[in-house]
Chains A and B, each alone.
Chain A
């Protein structure tokens, strides 16, 4: 009897020590997370119900008026539509291109288990855009897309006597230009991520499949993709959240910060414009709250849809 009590006491003490150890490690980050992540979120919820203009110490409470106004705000819904479009196209574009490149780098060589010539070099080159700050990428592409003879893309067109394309000034083209930059910037990271994933796929599987007569396409869809599915799923969610968060590229690159004529605006840009240019912090917070729910909803849906059997190897 006494023995059992002692044993349970010892167990309790061990559990307590372990809990103290874990809490000791977790307390600081959790506290920081509460103060700098959760608390601003919570504050956004309360500011969204005021008419705060950013300078007053005592803003007026207006209830749900900001949300009501949001329903009739055409520009905001244009922004939502653009985010929606990016949400679909940016992950698809990025993942397809990144998978293709990664496959070439890892299984595009003379044998299925080797990459194309110079694969290690390309792997570094693909990663370059990731190293550049977003603002620099935006300024860089402003020059690439310039509408006159100094534009990298338009100069050859003009030299050939063709009409230059208004990459950023034609409302019908501008959003596609932005999409291109977003994908260009993101692809490198996913090439590296997928390369790492592919490198962990046993070579024997490829060799066996090859001996069985599988071509490259079949190899990719029957061996690589299923074994890489977890990684693709992570990339999908990251890219989706990035598509909802697009801001700097649009803000720096486009005319009128989301123009021309709201053709490229996104939710984050509208939040920034209303807060820091119109000084309607209450209204901007309401937009922020809506964006928060969009993001949470996307994450929930994405996780649910992409869940499937994991292939063990």
Chain B
């Protein structure tokens, strides 16, 4: 018998010992936090003037990192960077586009040489909580108080939606620019609805009656959502809950209040959608992703789906030319809803920030000032078919039908917009809500158990001292 167990045992022992004997010191070079990197080099500054209110160093270079996702990176290359360069021709811009923000940038933040300007977005974005906690986010207060790009008499603060400032505020400091203004609703094809004489429903009764009618017609399925990403459907459930019970419902959820997920309006909304899920979904919905369901929509296999206003841009290659994208707000549940018909889930999204410990943060802020100009925002809207937080920037621009519809619904909604923030604040709560909601829609989880599960997670996070808490008022 050839016994070689001795060498094996030796190998195992060596492997185990290696873990114990090398406590991160001697060889720690790559993954570990660097330690003792000391204070960052002084940031570049210049004299302030009317043409340069933020006082950037006119000759200092800076780097712009763009997430190459649903919006691509052409808007930065073709709109914002030329706009900036026209006023500050000597400041060289280094453009970087990546599909993996965190993988590209996280080592640079840990290593102390972050880029100045970051479009932190996508599935692999860096966690804002972690960045804020570590002081990596530049306070954008000076930007808000600076004169706007177009009119020196008007401050930047007054050219953007107030909700953008609220949503970009972490720990009392405005430090994240939410640039795109996203509108959620239920999307349909004006052609399909017109051809069949279907009407946009305004009450929940009309809505379920329409679903029934579509189902009976046999022409297509009434409703679907991105089943593999149940966020899309818990988004509608929460919006309906806010409509029924008022914005306090969502504030309680965001503030991790006790029993927030078990509140009556939340249960009512969840029951309503679970009922929809049981009867009117496109076959296989729970196993299809957003692109597959959206493509089914474009092929007239399903009549309605809930989504955000990026839908039109995302589907631009597969949408039939006469499809006629349009959206309607969630129907009123009863006559005694707390918020009126037309209430929308709308919030500024697509986050940009300036790295506080970069070499030239002022240039990053100045770049944002250019983005927030009428031209920068208006051309962005045209290019990627999305509204921005800059007031009135899309007016006079040629917009596609879906965006036109979304803009009109937003105008009709007026002050009646709602949103929730826990998705950005507590990603684990978001994941739990998504997992549970997928099961709710599939009929595998009753409403009470659904609420219990998410509430338990919310309680867990509230009682976890290691998680940084946020509150909204």
Q: Interface residues, chain A, CB within 8 Å of chain B?
A: 34-35, 38-43, 45-47, 51-59, 145-148, 151, 154, 158, 164, 166-169, 171, 255-256, 259-262, 273, 276-279, 292, 296, 299-300, 303-304, 307, 309-310
Contacts and interface: CB of A to CB of B under 8 A. Distances in A.
A202 B115 CA distance: 66
A41 B110 CA distance: 19
A55 B466 contact: no
B22 A309 contact: no
B426 to A, nearest CB: 9
A68 to B, nearest CB: 12
Contacts of B288: 146-148
Given A147-B288, A255-B287, A300-B12, 8 more contacts: A41-B19, A55-B126, A55-B131, A166-B286, A256-B228, A256-B230, A276-B124, A279-B130
Summarize A's interface: helix, strand, loop or mixed.
loop
B23 A45 contact: yes
Contacts of B94: none
B428 interface: yes
Given A55-B106, A59-B33, A261 B436 contact: yes
Interface stretch (B201-209, B393-401, B438-446): B438-446
B291 to A, nearest CB: 12
Interface stretch (B1-9, B139-147, B316-324): B1-9
A292 B15 CA distance: 10
- The interface centre, meaning the residue of A34, A54, A145 with most chain B CB atoms within 10 A of its CB, is A54
Contact of A255 (B16, B103, B229): B229
Given A55-B136, A56-B134, A310-B1, A45 B284 contact: no
- The interface centre, meaning the residue of A41, A260, A292, A300 with most chain B CB atoms within 10 A of its CB, is A260
B31 interface: yes
B466 A51 contact: yes
The 6 A-B residue pairs with the shortest CB-CB distance, nearest first, are A147-B284, A147-B287, A46-B24, A169-B287, A39-B27, A42-B22
Contacts of A256: 228-230, 431, 434-435, 438
B37 interface: yes
Contacts of B16: 296
- The interface centre, meaning the residue of B5, B33, B103 with most chain A CB atoms within 10 A of its CB, is B33
Given A53-B130, A56-B134, A147-B286, A255 B228 contact: yes
B18 interface: yes
A299 B16 CA distance: 12
Given A169-B286, A296-B12, A42 B124 contact: no
B133 A39 contact: no
Contacts of B28: 39, 42-43, 46
Contacts of B282: 148
B292 to A, nearest CB: 8
Contact of B5 (A51, A164, A169, A307): A307
B19 A40 contact: no
Nearest to B285: A147
Contacts of A300: 12
